[in-house]
Amino acid sequence: MSTNVGTIDRVLRAALGIVLLYLAFFSGLPLFDGSLFKYGAAVVGVVMLATSTLKLCPLYSIFGIKTCRDC
């Protein structure tokens, strides 16, 4: 599989992943007291960080989307 996630997309995904992990474990907001939202946000955050690090989004591959210029 080739890369399909560009630089701006990677930065936004990494930021979203970090924010979701922070909200899930350190924010103390009542919404994230329940396990569904807490672990749901954590899973989505980890997936965002993984796709940012690997420069590969499986959904982009399925739909044929590429946000990088030189790939």
pLDDT tens digits for range 38-48? 999 999 999 99
Average pLDDT value for residue range 24-49: 96
Helix, strand, coil tally for the chain in percent (to 5): 70, 0, 30
Instruction: Give me the number of domains the chain comprises.
Output: 1
If DSSP codes are grouped into helix, strand and coil, which group holds residue 68? Answer: coil
Report pTM.
0.89
1-25 pLDDT tens trace: 789 999 999 999 999 999 999 999 9
24 within some domain = yes
Most confident of 31-35, 46-50, 58-62: 46-50
Distance CA 45, CA 19 (A): 8
71 within some domain = no
Average pLDDT value for residue range 24-46: 95
DSSP string, 39-50: HHHHHHHHHHHH
- What is the enclosing helix (H) or strand (E) of 5? none
- 36 in Cβ contact with 29 (< 8 Å): no
70 within some domain = no
